[in-house]
Amino acid sequence: MSAIATIPNETFVNLLKDLLLEDYIPSSNAQALIQAEARYIKDLKINVGNAINNTQQLNRKEALLLALAVSVNERFEPLKESFTRLAQQEGATEAEIAEVIAATSLMNTNNVFYRFRHFMNKDSYNNQPAGIKMSLMMNPVLGKEFFELLSLAISAVNGCEMCVSSHEQSVLQHGSSESRVFEAVKTVSIIKGLITVLA
């Protein structure tokens, strides 16, 4: 018997099945929602389904790679594993999965550094070379447009205004659209909210 078979809320169980989380043991946050039969569980399932199945601006593989990036960013291993499997089912390669992890790591580095520069806004900090190696950004296997989109989305999760602005400008220069940017940021925000419940 799987762990989710003991969960009394059918909507929550179906959400976990969609995410390949059959062995998930509910966190205290999840238990609180389940026990109260909270209406939010239905909203969460709909939001997550819309986020990873949006085919208008993002294809399913792209949405799943963005979801994977948030799971890596938030260090939530169960979703990292399930989004890796789901992305692979949509054709994601080992190199693409590895690049999502690397890009997320690089954005964590840059988000802290450039947020500090922005907060301080001093010439003594702004005029020094960053000295952070970023060769990953030169020829990404994900393609430059999607790499920039992913970088923007993770920067939004981490709250770096300078990085969001810079990557938004870059992603548009590489042929993207504001609608696609909007959907990418909405996708990662929904997955961040999902992790708040599950972790």
Task: Spell out the domains of the chain, with CATH numbers in brackets.
Answer: 3-198 (1.20.1290.10)
Contact assessment for residue 144 and residue 163, using Cβ atoms and an 8 Å cutoff:
no
pLDDT above 70 covers a percentage of the chain that reads 99
| Span 39-56, average pLDDT | 93
Output the pLDDT for position 1: 57
Would you place residue 159 in the very low, low, confident or very high pLDDT band (cuts 50, 70, 90)? very high
Mean pLDDT value across residues 31-51: 95
Catalytic residues, which ones? Answer: 160, 163
Closest by Cα among 145, 152, 150, 154 to 173: 145
User: What's the pLDDT score for residue 112?
Assistant: 97
